[in-house]
Amino acid sequence: MSHHYIRFTDVRYTYPNGYEALAGISFLATHGEKVAVLGLNGAGKSTLLLHTNGLLFPTSGEVNVGDVPVTKSTLPIVRQSVGMVFQNPDDQLFMATVEEDVAFGPMNMKLPQAEVERRVSKALAMVGATELRKRPPFTLSGGQKRAVAIATVLAMEPSILVMDEPTSDLDRRARRDLIDLVKGFDHTCLIATHDLDMALEVCPRAILIRDGIIAADGPTEEIVGLEF
Ligand SMILES: Nc1ncnc2c1ncn2[C@@H]1O[C@H](COP(=O)(O)OP(=O)(O)OP(=O)(O)O)[C@@H](O)[C@H]1O
Ligand SMILES: [Mg+2]
């Protein structure tokens, strides 16, 4: 994929119960841009993020990742470039041990064993979770689960990083490490968060979602000053 951008074009999404959670979302996050997705509980942030790697498909409108439209048939290629950290780490951890969870993506990519091992060690070190390697994920604390969930995504070496509330549960040091890690990631990033200080530090631009539409889009310091 030559261009690591995400484009939403008039995306609407109605949940099966008839609730329209996205009511016409259009934006472009260009290559290397870090964009915060802000808004109150229930605004539609997670619903929006789930469209970036085809966990949800628009009821109408289109999502593009680089020059590839996100459809059922493009999912393998889309998921290789878009790494998604879910709001709830329990949705991301399902293997018997931490190292198996982190190895899962690289193994699915059919990488050689040595490369899988390199990526697992690197990703765990990046989130400070090396010593959790042999632990069953269900025995971890909330913040430890969060760190490992982030490692599972980093191990895929995605060219676009999408994170839903990545700093919730993290203690001060883990939060600081994550902020530094994301700042050092030079690809496109989309981060839904209530952590406005992180948004200000990491993302020059923010999109404010209100009732499924983009209520504002601009420099983060201006957006966080708005009433929402
Ligand atoms: N599976 C579902 N079925 C029906 N409605 C849903 C479903 N998931 C979410 N919704 C509704 O869609 C709206 C947007 O939800 P979403 O999870 O995208 O919000 P959010 O901005 O991520 O909120 P939060 O800050 O609490 O994470 C909410 O009104 C929510 O109740
Ligand atoms: Mg959410």
Structure tokens at 205: 């631009």
194 is a domain residue: yes
What's the predicted TM-score (pTM) here? 0.94
Q: How far is CA 75 from the centre of its chain?
A: 16
Question: What does the pLDDT look like over 112-121, one tens digit per residue?
Answer: 999 999 999 9
- Give the Å distance between the CA of 41 and the centre of ligand 2: 7
- Going from the Cα of 46 to the center of ligand 1, the distance in angstroms, rounded, reads 7
In a domain, 208, yes or no: yes
- Residue 51: inside a domain: yes
CA separation, residue 19 to residues 47, 63, 207 (Å): 12, 20, 22
Examine residue 54 and state whether it is found in any structural domain, yes or no: yes
**What confidence tier does 22 reach under pLDDT thresholds 50, 70, 90?**
very high
Q: Is the pLDDT of residue 1 over 60?
A: no
Asked whether residue 1 is assigned to any structural domain, the reply reads no
Q: How many domains does the chain have?
A: 1
- Give domain status of residue 195, yes or no: yes
Q: Which residues surround ligand 2, an ion (CB under 5 A)?
A: 45-46, 87
Q: What is the mean pLDDT of residues 125-135?
A: 95
Tokens for 131, please give them.
């010593």
What CATH number has the domain bearing residue 44? 3.40.50.300
Confidence band, pLDDT 50/70/90 cuts, at residue 2? very low
Q: Please work out whether the CB of residue 53 comes within 6 Å of at least one atom of ligand 1.
A: no
228 lies in some domain: no
Sign of CA dihedral 91, 95, 99, 102: negative
Contact at 8 Å (CB) between 3 and 29? no
Please state which of the ranges 12-21, 24-33, 176-185, 204-213 shows the lowest mean pLDDT.
Answer: 176-185
Residue 157 domain-assigned (yes or no): yes
Quote the pLDDT of residue 3.
66
Residue 64: domain span? 6-223
Mean pLDDT lowest for which of 26-40, 102-116, 170-184, 199-213? 170-184
- Looking at the predicted structure, is the pLDDT value of residue 111 above 50? yes
Instruction: Read off the pLDDT of residues 152-200 as tens digits, 9 standing for 90 and up.
Output: 999 999 999 999 999 988 899 889 988 998 988 888 999 999 999 999 9
In this prediction, residues 41-47 reach a mean pLDDT of 97
Q: pLDDT per residue over 57-96, tens digit each?
A: 999 999 999 999 999 999 999 998 999 999 999 999 999 9
Q: How far is the CA of 117 from the centre of ligand 2 (A)?
A: 32
Among residues 94, 92, 178, 86, which one has the least CA distance to residue 128? 178
